[in-house]
């Protein structure tokens, strides 16, 4: 069914959480919103996040893909926000993305406190099937980049079995090491030759956002960084129960499932996010402006280097 204002020849479907997008400017309880480059985006510790629903996000991606536009979409967690807070270069990459959704309840709560009551969680694991549901009837070829060969095999099987007529035009499992310039050029050429107009990227934070930024403008496709969605949708990993997702405790479930890989990330990022977010909220309530807390910049080669290397192709959901 087409939605108001959308051409009837394009299949844009309603999802369960469809309740309209956020207004371009809003104020609730005296809290000033921080409207960034695009309507409906609000800055959380410097990272702009769109107050948007899953259906609206999937519709936007579909329209971009039908137009052959080169766009990038990031799904942001606390991890992304804190990486941007710590590393100005990564923050600049995030701010260049065309759409950033809230993949995690802490960011949804932040958006609502900053004046966007319609904000909804738009996680990669739900956004991916929402986009595929639109891509299949519209004849939009899609691709999957990232993950292991085994995960990709199961993911492709799930996608083709679930969405009748879906054209999976590109599938590639890159090595865990950084690609050379020649290898990256070949990947870009292969994607372009495949005809894929939507490419789901499962390289993990921060690698997937950096890759999408590098290829922006070089592909007539929408790149969508979905983190660990490949693992969850393929059935390779279990996701947290619904009640834990609703109350913002999915991170605790993942920590219990992969403690050795994740404990440093959560121990470093989560407490600081809470403290810094409260400080930003208090400043905004007192009319001191939306400025990001002062911070001594760190380089990406700092204390996070080893942890970030282990996150390659396994990022956040």
In angstroms, what CA-CA distances link 233 with 6, 156, 160?
A: 29, 10, 12
Q: Is residue 6 part of a domain?
A: no
Average pLDDT of span 137-160 = 97
H helix or E strand, kind and range, residue 174: none
CB 8 within 8 A of CB 92: no
Average pLDDT of span 17-26 = 34
* Mean pLDDT, the chain, whole residue set: 79
Helices (H), 67-115: 78-86, 88-96, 105-113
Q: Which of 48, 40, 47 is nearest to 118 (CA)?
A: 40
Average pLDDT of span 237-260 = 70
| Residue, of 221 and 119, whose pLDDT is higher | 221
pLDDT attached to residue 256: 67
CB 263 within 8 A of CB 255: yes
HSE-CB for 15 with a 13 A CA cutoff: 23
pLDDT attached to residue 295: 39
Question: Does the predicted TM-score (pTM) go above 0.85?
Answer: no
Q: Is residue 27 part of a domain?
A: no
Give me the number of domains the chain comprises.
1
What confidence category does residue 289 fall into, taking pLDDT thresholds of 50, 70 and 90? low
Q: Is residue 232 part of a domain?
A: yes
Q: Is residue 208 part of a domain?
A: yes
Q: Is residue 25 part of a domain?
A: no
Q: Is residue 9 part of a domain?
A: no
CB 38 within 8 A of CB 52: no
Percent of the chain with pLDDT over 90: 58
Q: Is residue 14 part of a domain?
A: no
Average pLDDT of span 48-58 = 95
pLDDT tens digits, 159-205: 999 999 999 999 999 998 999 999 999 999 999 999 999 999 999 99
In angstroms, what CA-CA distances link 118 with 23, 28, 250, 296, 315?
A: 9, 12, 21, 34, 27
Q: Is residue 11 part of a domain?
A: no
Domain with 90, as residue range(s), is: 38-317
Lowest mean pLDDT among 101-105, 107-111, 134-138, 264-268: 264-268
pLDDT tens digits, 95-114: 999 999 999 889 999 999 99
Residue 136 tokens, joined: 């299949």
């Amino acid at each position: 069914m087409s939605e108001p204002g959308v051409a009837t020849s394009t299949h844009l479907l309603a999802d369960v959480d469809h309740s309209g997008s956020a207004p371009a400017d809003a104020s609730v309880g005296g809290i000033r919103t921080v409207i960034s480059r695009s309507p409906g985006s609000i800055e959380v510790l410097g990272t702009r996040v769109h107050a948007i629903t899953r259906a609206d996000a999937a519709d936007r991606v579909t329209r971009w893909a039908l137009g052959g536009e080169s766009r990038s979409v990031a799904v942001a967690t606390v991890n992304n926000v804190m990486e941007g807070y710590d590393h100005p270069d990564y923050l600049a990459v995030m701010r260049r993305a065309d759409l950033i959704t809230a993949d995690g309840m802490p960011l949804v709560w932040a958006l609502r406190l900053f004046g966007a009551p319609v904000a909804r969680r738009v996680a990669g694991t739900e956004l991916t099937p929402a986009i595929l549901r639109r891509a299949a009837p519209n004849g939009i070829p899609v691709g999957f980049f990232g993950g292991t060969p085994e995960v990709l095999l199961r993911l492709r099987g799930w996608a083709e079995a679930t969405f009748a007529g879906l054209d999976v035009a590109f599938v590639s499992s890159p090595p865990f090491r950084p690609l050379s310039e020649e290898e990256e050029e070949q990947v870009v050429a292969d994607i372009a030759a495949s005809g894929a107009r939507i490419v789901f990227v499962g390289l993990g934070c921060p690698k997937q956002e950096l890759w999408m930024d590098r290829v922006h403008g070089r592909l007539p496709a929408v790149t969508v960084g979905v983190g660990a969605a490949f693992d969850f949708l393929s059935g390779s990993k279990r996701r947290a129960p619904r009640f834990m997702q609703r109350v913002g405790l999915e991170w605790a479930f993942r920590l219990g499932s992969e403690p050795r890989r994740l404990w440093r990330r959560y121990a470093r990022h989560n407490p600081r996010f809470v403290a810094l977010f409260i400080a930003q909220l208090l400043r905004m309530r007192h009319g001191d402006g939306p400025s990001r807390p002062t911070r001594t910049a760190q380089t990406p080669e700092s204390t996070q280097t080893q942890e970030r290397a282990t996150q390659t192709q396994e990022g956040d959901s």
